[in-house]
């Protein structure tokens, strides 16, 4: 076990992670929330809490339909929630994708406020099961990648004052988390984490100013894609715009690729390969950017593992949720990083082949 963090480094880490709402705890009064839903939306029914990263998320079942209700943590301003709802509204209007419809209040707003300045928004409930809960053998990563590309193409012209927020999950800020490596429980993990961070600093960070950037989803992962393998429309929902922000398109591809790594396969990049293949058919990127995806995906996996460990210590109430999402990260990271160079060459060839 490493020693305690230097005060300045610990302050940087805490400011980044707490400022993004990652220490939020559930303290929403169901009665007050029901009153707001009736007053602002004319909705009444039964509320059922769902596990979530930082928002207080519930399903409201009425006599006619079901809705998703999200209450933002106090660290998220109304402008940040407006960024999220505006991105969903635009994506629903500019693409054929199954993005949740945002409900308007009686006054026509996409958001309202609960006591304590917590911002509330309501969406339609979409059918389907998350990919994370399905057998990987039924996945169609190329289809999912194409839908990802279509989404970002639809958001390409989107601008919002809050889009340049400082988000803990933005890979740009990964070097700030370097101090958490010292807290890892064993030397092999510390060595692996150090190597991944060095590769990210050496190959990706120098290119960061030159990468194509726009508003991106921020968390295009198996947990946020709903699918029906037996349905006529495979992807039935693209959900959770809580991490939407302005950043490199390549980083968003890397986030998706990270969620598709699987140490149980001879090629841990198999599903990520399919995602990239589908993505570039809808949103071409130069091979010089796509070849950075494997290192950036490994960095994202490290980022998730480090933040999960930190959050489990800081917010025990949410430990089970965050650790479940990160349960395979170290095994996936070890398997994927050992073949990162081969994956980079293959991904670059996919991008160039699609452009030719």
In b/e form, how buried is each residue of 237-273, taking b as 16+ CB within 10 angstroms? bbbbbbbbbbbbbbbbbbbbbbbbbbeeeeebbebbb
Residues 73, 54 contacting (CB under 8 angstroms): yes
Give the pLDDT confidence score for residue 184 in this predicted structure.
92
| Distance (Å) of CA 115 to CA 41, 118, 120 | 16, 7, 10
Residue 27 has a CB neighbour count (10 Å cut-off) of 11
Give the pLDDT confidence score for residue 54 in this predicted structure.
82
Provide φ and ψ at 182, rounded to 5°.
-65, -20
In 174-332, the DSSP E strands lie at 213-216, 225-227, 235-238, 245-248
Provide φ and ψ at 169, rounded to 5°.
-85, -5
Give the pLDDT confidence score for residue 1 in this predicted structure.
43
**Full-model pTM:** 0.94
pLDDT tens by residue, 137-184: 889 999 999 999 999 999 999 999 999 999 999 999 999 999 999 989
- What the chain holds in terms of domains, given with CATH numbers, is 14-19+130-355 (3.90.1200.10), 30-125 (3.30.200.20)
CA dihedral 302, 172, 200, 187 (to 10 degrees): -30
Give the separation between CA 28 and CA 309, rounded to whole angstroms.
25
Give the pLDDT confidence score for residue 77 in this predicted structure.
93
**Parts of the chain with a pLDDT under 70:** 1-8, 25-26, 355-356
Give the separation between CA 137 and CA 63, rounded to whole angstroms.
37
The residue with tokens 């890979």 is: 171
């Amino acid at each position: 076990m490493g020693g305690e963090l230097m005060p300045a480094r610990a302050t940087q880490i805490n400011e980044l992670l707490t400022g993004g709402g990652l220490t939020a705890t559930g303290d929403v009064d169901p009665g007050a929330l029901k009153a707001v839903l009736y007053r602002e939306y004319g909705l009444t029914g039964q509320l059922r809490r769902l596990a979530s990263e930082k928002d207080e998320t519930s399903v409201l079942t009425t006599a006619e339909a079901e809705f998703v209700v999200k209450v933002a943590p106090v660290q998220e301003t109304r402008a940040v929630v407006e960024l999220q709802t505006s991105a969903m509204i635009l994506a629903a209007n500019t693409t054929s994708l199954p993005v949740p419809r945002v409900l308007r209040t009686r006054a026509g707003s996409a958001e309202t406020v609960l006591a304590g300045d917590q911002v509330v928004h309501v969406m339609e409930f979409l059918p389907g099961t998350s990919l994370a809960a399905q057998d990987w053998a039924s996945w169609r990563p190329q289809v999912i990648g194409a839908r990802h590309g279509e989404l970002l193409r639809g958001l390409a012209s989107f601008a919002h004052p809050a889009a340049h927020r400082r988000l803990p999950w933005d890979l740009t800020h990964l070097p700030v988390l370097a101090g958490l490596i010292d807290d890892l429980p064993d030397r092999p993990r510390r060595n692996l984490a150090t190597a991944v961070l060095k590769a990210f600093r050496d190959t990706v960070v120098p290119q960061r100013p030159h990468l194509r950037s726009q508003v991106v989803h921020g968390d295009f992962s198996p947990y946020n894609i709903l699918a029906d393998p037996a349905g006529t429309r495979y992807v039935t929902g693209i959900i959770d715009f809580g991490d939407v922000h302005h950043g490199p398109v390549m980083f968003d591809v890397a986030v998706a690729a990270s969620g598709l790594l699987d140490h149980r396969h001879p090629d841990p990049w198999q599903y990520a390969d399919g995602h990239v293949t589908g993505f570039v058919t809808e949103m071409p990127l130069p091979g010089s950017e796509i070849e950075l995806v494997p290192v950036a995906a490994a960095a994202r996996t490290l980022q998730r593992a480090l933040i999960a460990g930190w959050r489990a210590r800081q917010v025990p109430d949410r430990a089970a949720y965050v650790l479940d999402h990160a349960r395979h990260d170290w095994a996936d990271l070890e398997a994927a990083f050992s073949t990162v160079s081969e994956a980079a060459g293959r991904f670059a060839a996919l991008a160039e082949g699609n452009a030719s």
